[in-house]
Structures are given as structure tokens and as C-alpha cells.
Amino acid sequence: MRKSVYSLVLMDDVVAAIDRLAYEQNTSRSNLINQILAERVSYVTPEMRMRDIFDQLEGILSDSCYQIQNQASDSMFSVRSSLQYKYRPTVKYQIELFREPKDIAGRLKVTFRTSSQNFASAVEQFFSYWMQIENAYLLNVHPDGVPSELDGGKFIRGFLELTGDHKLSEEDIANAIGEYIKVLDACLKYYFENITDAEKWKMQMESAYRAYLQSGVYIA
């Protein structure tokens, strides 16, 4: 959506109050004024849509195994979970939605808080197989491969914005992202609990992923 520069004459006290509120909400003065005016004229901005998605996502992931994190910006949402492994490493799931989507509408970044090389190797093994599963089951949606990558123990997964007859509501998007994080987190936990039995964790991962796809709306 196009933005332009406009000149407004405002009271200093009003601007000071706007700045305080913008600071509390981790946003800019211009963006906050834009949101206030949009709400006044009943216009839904991309930021309002993202906030709605993240509010619903927080409800979906509000059970005890996830810790909701303070957000760095209006376009990001992140939660943490812990794994049953040496030193109890934590995994962070961070969703970023794009205000003006191009090839993808947003992406998920999965990162881990540990410096163990053995753990990093185990993570690489897990996501290499996870990516194989996704590429196999989503071949009709992504004939050139799912937009994902594994970089230094960090997994990044882009997802499409469905439009036209397939356009998703904010609730559908939140459900799709939330359920994806849930199945990924469950598979990660199962993997580390059964890491020495490759046949067992591979079978469980594929079964869980199939069930996720068959449940309805899923991340594309």
C-alpha cells in the first residue's frame, strides 16, 4: 500500500502523548497516527490485520508449554518452548508478516539457544528430514520446492499469501500458523526423546505431518 508525506499542524502536548504511546507499543509516531486515523474511518490497515492475527495466535499458543515473548515490532510474534535434552535448550519460533507481500506473505524463523555442536548437528538432521517431508507432501503447491532453508542451525520457512477464492481470513491464518508451530514443536520434542531410533522418529514425524495437512487449513 502506497504511503505519502503529509503536513499536519498538531498541538505539542498531543504529539508528546502520541510519542509516549508509540514508545509503549514499540512503533513509530507516524505509524501510530496512521492506525488511529484508520480506526476512526473504519479502514483496516495491514498493521491492524497483523495485530488481529497475532492476538488470535497468542490465544492458540497460550498453553503452558509455550512462553509468549515481548514483540520487537508490529509485524513480529514469537514464542519459546523447551526441549528434553542436555542443558534443556530452548527453541524460539518467530513469525514475521510482511506489510507488502511479494513472493511470500511472511516467514517463520526457528532458532535455538545453545552453543553445543552436537546439538547443532542433531538440529540439522531433524530439519533436513522435515524439509524432505514438506517437499514431498506439498509438491503440488511448491513444484520448485517449499521456500525453506537451514542456515547454521536456524530454520527459515516462508509461506504464501493465498488470494482470490482461496484467500484466508485472519482466523484461518492464525490457525494455520499456530497448528504448524504445534506440530513442528511436537515433532522436535519426539525427535530428541527418540534420537537414537531414526526409524521411529521418522515414522512419527511423517505421520504427524500428514495428520496436520488432513486437519484442514494449513500453512502453504
**DSSP of 26-82:** T--HHHHHHHHHHHHTT---HHHHHHHHHHHHHHHT-STT-EEPPPSSTTEEEEEEE
Per-residue pLDDT band for 70 (boundaries 50, 70, 90) equals confident
Mean pLDDT of 63-88: 83
pLDDT computed for residue 104 by the predictor: 74
pLDDT of 129 reads 97
**pTM for the predicted model, two decimal places:** 0.79
Q: What mean pLDDT, rounded, does the chain reach?
A: 85
Bigger pLDDT: 140 vs 160: 140
Distance (Å, whole) CA 29 – CA 33: 6
Report the b/e string of 80-94 with b at 16+ CB within 10 A.
Answer: bbebebeeebebbbb
Question: What is the per-residue pLDDT across 8-32, written as a single tens digit (0 to 9) for each?
Answer: 888 888 889 989 988 887 788 887 8
Average pLDDT over residues 101-122: 84
What percent of the chain is modeled with pLDDT above 70?
A: 91
pLDDT of residue 185: 95
Answer yes or no: is pLDDT of 145 > 70. Answer: yes
Q: Break the chain down into helix, strand, coil percent, rounded to 5.
A: 50, 15, 35
Structure confidence by residue, pLDDT tens digits, 149-191:
998 789 999 987 654 455 677 888 888 899 999 999 999 999 9
